Structure 1
């Protein structure tokens, strides 16, 4: 049995998309609070750790995984008398403060409630991280699928292709971990682990998130200044200044 280089994962998606459930499946226990509906359980970016056993070339590997549950995207504004608004801001500050890297993004979307907001957020994330790291759609809340959850993707593939979500790999899952859905829960975790295993390779070099954002800033100097970076990515001033250098 051997240890692998660490794998860094960003779990992203709009409010209520099932990010916390994905984290819990990967970790193997309930470390992230799951929303009951209207409440928001990921207002801040939180780091979780997991050790996942995988088999590579006949050898069992203990894959250490850093999981960043990213806050942001369509969080309700806490202003009295105001209607909640859609926001594309995301909190990347905690990741940059520790010079974090990323190997893959798991982008969560509710299967039963797939909507234009999800598409807009996906396009935004893809515009920032696409081309640097894989962005894999994770379709959540499919426990009521009568057949294999993968059938949902088959039925919706044409629509997903029009959204630019085809051909990137995917997982169709439920985050419910209870006796009623025990088999589907196990299948869901296996799908997620398979995605992570696909990103593992000996000698792999992770992508620096700071380098990705620096390139974005330098290629779009009119769009990004210190104030914009602080607001859009929830950075402190020192980190924002570093990205502009």
Structure 2
């Protein structure tokens, strides 16, 4: 990756898994606010700028994600709107180069699978490298042991990654664990540099219709076709004729 270039990273995971701490670990300083009581919202994002010692710059988009495996009908409109706005924002800056999927060390759950599918399969159409970042492993004798123990469960839930980083991102550790924090920074930066795709994914033709059709499957009670058109025209600013074409492409079997 050329020094001086800028790469776009989308980091996602459930509230409380330590996304802000991972950003601070990657940056080598506290740039992201850490709050255990972060409000629950869907696909909202905050942007951070990080530069590595070799001059490579990263624009990290920290998303607030789903809390439940299925979307309620009330969460559907903001999810669609925020996804549309985020992909347009990323298009202006060269697309998505890497996904960082943060999970807390523990058992693999259906909610983890839900988040994985939403971002990797639905949002990025499986066209962006994904790195699994496992946090809260400071008490592991060897942090990598967590992955060896849980690789089978990840496979069971069809959670696949180009690479992984087992680490601790807690920066208020006592002296015995401080070395693991510094080790974790090297692990994280190494996996980012190894898997960040130089050619950013920008969505492409038909992305929005594909995303909506897959997102509808997450919704408890399918939204009406007229509601989708309304979101696209009134909240996304899309011309009515184009919105109708997008809604039509979704397929009548998915909307009523």
Q: Which residue of 2 aligns with 1:194?
A: 190
CA RMSD of aligned residues (A): 3.5
Number of aligned residue pairs = 219
Change (3 A) 1:4 1:144: same
Q: Which residue of 1 aligns with 2:26?
A: 26
Q: Which residue of 1 aligns with 2:115?
A: 121
Q: What's the offset of the Cα at 1:199?
A: 3.3
Q: Equivalent residues in 2 for 1:217-232 (5 A)?
A: 217-219=208-210, 227-228=227-228
Q: Which residue of 1 aligns with 2:102?
A: 108
**Which runs of 5 or more residues in structure 2 are unaligned?**
217-224, 247-256
Within the alignment, does 1:64 sit opposite 2:60 as a pair?
A: no
CA distance in 1, matches of 2:167, 2:74: 25
Q: Which residue of 1 aligns with 2:250?
A: none
Higher helix share: 2
Q: Equivalent residues in 2 for 1:130-145 (5 A)?
A: 130-145=125-140
Q: Secondary structure at the match of 1:62?
A: coil
CA distance in 2, matches of 1:186, 1:227: 50
Q: Secondary structure at the match of 1:131?
A: coil
**Which runs of 5 or more residues in structure 1 are unaligned?**
54-60, 76-83
Change (3 A) 1:217 1:200: closer
CA distance in 1, matches of 2:39, 2:170: 16
Higher strand share: 1
Change (3 A) 1:6 1:222: closer
Does the CA-based 8 Å contact 2:110-2:157 persist in structure 1? no
Q: What's the offset of the Cα at 1:104?
A: 0.5
Q: Which residue of 2 aligns with 1:160?
A: 154
Q: What's the offset of the Cα at 1:35?
A: 2.9
CA distance in 2, matches of 1:31, 1:67: 11
Normalised to the residue count of structure 2, the TM-score between the two structures is 0.71
CA distance in 1, matches of 2:119, 2:58: 21
Q: Which residue of 2 aligns with 1:78?
A: none
